[in-house]
Amino acid sequence: MTAVQRRVIQAGVLAVVALACLAEVLYIFPIRGGILWQLELPGGPDVVLGSGFIRSFSLRQWPDVLVEITPGLAFAFSGLIAWSVRPRNRVGLLMMGVGVGLLVGVQPGAKGSPAFSELLAQILSPWPAIDYPWVSIALSIVGALGVVMLIHLLLAFPGGRLVSGVDRALVRSFYILLPLAAVLGEAAMNVSPEALGVAFSSNIFVYANTVPNLIYLACLVLGLALVIRRWLLGGRARRRSLAPVFWSVIPVVFAFLPWSVIEIAGGLSLKGKGSAAALFDPLSTAAHLSPLLLIALPVGFLIGLLRTGLDMSSIGDLVVRLSSGLTPDQLQPALARALQDPSLRVLYWLPTLGFFADLEGRRVELPDPDSERAVSVLGDPTAPVAALVYESSLVHEGQLLDTAAAAVNMALENARLQVQLRAQLEEVRQSRVRLVEAADSERQRVERDLHDGAQQQLVTLLLSMQAAKAEALKQGDRRVAELIDANISALREALDELRELARGIHPTILSQAGLMPAIQSLADRSPIPVDVKGAFGDTRLAPPIEAALYFVVAEAITNAVKHSKGKRMRVQVGRNLGLATIEVSDDGVGGADVSRGSGLLGLTDRVAAVGGRLVVTSDAGKGTTINAEVPCG
């Protein structure tokens, strides 16, 4: 976030705060009939205030105003301070959001701050299209968002990020549910049944208001449950750091609960509005004063944030986990959790290979440190052990990082050994692929050399001998002509052999026409009848895969011809779910041994090099079946 954006947000928050205060102050000194309060609310103030807790306009005095704006102000200013102290921690932003929500948003039942909404309505009065219901719906959304941000804040504190997936999912759904409930409730109260042109009974109308309130209450209870769960699962160390915040939550719950209870009870059991206040008078009084309790929370957050910095207690959790044995795979998530940075990566230095690698042993370049990512190399700079790549906001937590790094030092050494092993395996795998590819292209080159060289020369020689024979015949020398003829036959045999040799080295039809014609060609040439079934689809496979599968079939047929005594072979090919498969079977004597025949062993390696698998089934008397499957994307 740029400095300009930060300034704009800060100024915006301050402006909203100022406007809210102004509205409250003006509300105490209404200039009725004057410029400010010209707006006559449809149905009078009672309709706006809804069926629940009723606060009389005329009774508003300075204490009311203080009760009204203090929690919001406390959150907004605590948020501003928190944000300027820890600009990359979202806690500050969330606190400001809560503050704005409390100051200008409309809460269900309590009706938040009608003063602000009326001021806004006044400001907007030149535009009649934006009438009062729209303004109050908008403000109720702001109010609902404030509540969600409070839950978000409770769950994300102190790191500012939601670490568990459950938390993330629930908070996301709250961001949708609560504003929706607020809009529904607001619409139910501001739109008169007559205006809808439908004969609603007043009961339906009251229920329409109750359902959103139930959603509200459910979200609050669920949010509270999550906070308690966090507390319970946190372990002793975390509990200690969360304690001030946790204890400050309790008054907040009491601040919110009366509203909801009154709203729901009122909605369910009461027809008239006045009796609600009468029945729940003690609760109403509690609700009336409850906003003051909210001050505890922002102060608790601010103190918690400033005192602990990043949650040191999670390092304690990390140490506890380490002592119970942490596998290399668990190390990165554990560190990410301890440092509250889900994007944290552990990279291991591989001295023999001279690069950093991830847990899979894949080479990873260290990112250039910038505004987003920071890098810490652990261990002696000349002989590093590992590197941590993390969000650069953590740079301010140097001590924390060092503590975490020291805690995981032993585990890192172990993990590095494992990574080194994996990297070497990966290296070997890749070198095997390169070997096969090199062999393939070498075969192709040899075939081409034979074709353009020896084969072509022999054919040309054949032509010359043909001419010589014609010449001999012309001169009537039958003996020489016969001699030449014998040579021609020998030469043709040599050509045939050379042709078969070249084809075995690399079949041109494979690169030219593809795997299927090449397999069919093998089958056509086989002394044992071979039935070919299936297809690989319309697109060609990658050349190394085609070559691997081709040689599987070629070797299988060669072996069957040599050893199986079979009468018949079958090649079944297919391709689905990203897997190319080939099954070559014969009806011969079976008993083939992969480990003995170097041909089959070589095939196993070749198929493995392209990431596939070769299985030979060859029970004595049951023929031989060779299955190959290769992932082909």
Residues that bind other proteins (CB under 8 A): 448, 451-452, 455-456, 459-460, 462-464, 466-467, 470, 488, 491-492, 495, 499, 502-503, 508-509, 511-513, 517, 520-521, 523-526, 529-531, 568
Q: Cβ of residue 553: shortest distance to other proteins, in angstroms?
A: 14
* 201 burial type by CB count under 10 A (0-12 exposed, 13-18 middle, 19+ buried): exposed
Q: Cβ of residue 476: shortest distance to other proteins, in angstroms?
A: 16
Number of Cβ within a 10 Å radius of residue 542: 13
| Chain centroid to CA 484 | 77
Query: How big is the CA angle at 197 (ends 182 and 48), to the nearest 5 degrees?
Result: 40
Own/partner pairs, 559-564, CB within 8 angstroms, 24+ separation: 559/592, 559/597, 559/599, 559/600, 559/624, 560/528, 560/584, 560/586, 560/588, 560/624, 561/526, 561/527, 561/528, 563/588, 563/589, 563/592, 564/528, 564/588, 564/589, 564/590, 564/592, 564/623, 564/624
Per residue, the 3-state secondary structure of 420-486, as one string, reads HHHHHHHHHHHHHHHHHHHHHHHHHHHHHHHHHHHHHHHHHHHHHHHHHHHHHHHCCCHHHHHHHHH
Distance, CA of 446 to CA of 453 (rounded, Å):
10
Q: Cβ of residue 387: shortest distance to other proteins, in angstroms?
A: 48
How is the beta sheet containing 530-534 ordered, strand by strand? 530-534, 569-576, 579-586, 625-631, 613-617
Q: Cβ of residue 438: shortest distance to other proteins, in angstroms?
A: 21
C-beta closer to other proteins: residue 446 or 488: 488
Check residue 40 and report its DSSP letter.
P
H or E segment at 631?
Answer: strand 625-631
Distance, CA of 226 to CA of 170 (rounded, Å):
9
| Chain centroid to CA 242 | 28
What 3-state DSSP class applies to 285? helix
Number of Cβ within a 10 Å radius of residue 272: 11
Measured CA distances, 610 to 69, 432, 509 (Å) = 69, 9, 21
Pairing of strands 383-391, 530-534: unpaired
Q: Cβ of residue 531: shortest distance to other proteins, in angstroms?
A: 5
Query: How big is the CA angle at 26 (ends 23 and 28), to the nearest 5 degrees?
Result: 115
Q: Cβ of residue 588: shortest distance to other proteins, in angstroms?
A: 15
C-beta closer to other proteins: residue 26 or 446: 446
Q: Cβ of residue 504: shortest distance to other proteins, in angstroms?
A: 12
Contact call for residues 146 and 101 (beta carbons, < 8 A): yes
C-beta closer to other proteins: residue 452 or 619: 452
C-beta closer to other proteins: residue 398 or 453: 453
Helix axes of 3-28 and 90-104: crossing angle, nearest 10 degrees: 20
H or E segment at 155?
Answer: helix 132-156
CA dihedral angle for residue 520, residue 524, residue 525, residue 530, rounded to 10 degrees = 90
Tell me phi and psi for residue 114, to 5 degrees: -60, -25
Tell me phi and psi for residue 390, to 5 degrees: -150, 175
Longest dimension (CA), the chain: 140
Q: Cβ of residue 477: shortest distance to other proteins, in angstroms?
A: 16
C-beta closer to other proteins: residue 418 or 511: 511
Q: Cβ of residue 451: shortest distance to other proteins, in angstroms?
A: 6
C-beta closer to other proteins: residue 309 or 534: 534
Q: Is 398 left (phi over 0), alpha (psi -120 to 50) or beta?
A: alpha
Q: Cβ of residue 474: shortest distance to other proteins, in angstroms?
A: 9
Q: Cβ of residue 462: shortest distance to other proteins, in angstroms?
A: 6
Distance, CA of 319 to CA of 401 (rounded, Å):
13
- At 106, the amino acid letter reads V
C-beta closer to other proteins: residue 265 or 501: 501
Q: Cβ of residue 450: shortest distance to other proteins, in angstroms?
A: 9
Q: Cβ of residue 597: shortest distance to other proteins, in angstroms?
A: 25
Check residue 201 and report its DSSP letter.
-
Q: Cβ of residue 627: shortest distance to other proteins, in angstroms?
A: 21
What 3-state DSSP class applies to 625? strand
Q: Cβ of residue 590: shortest distance to other proteins, in angstroms?
A: 20
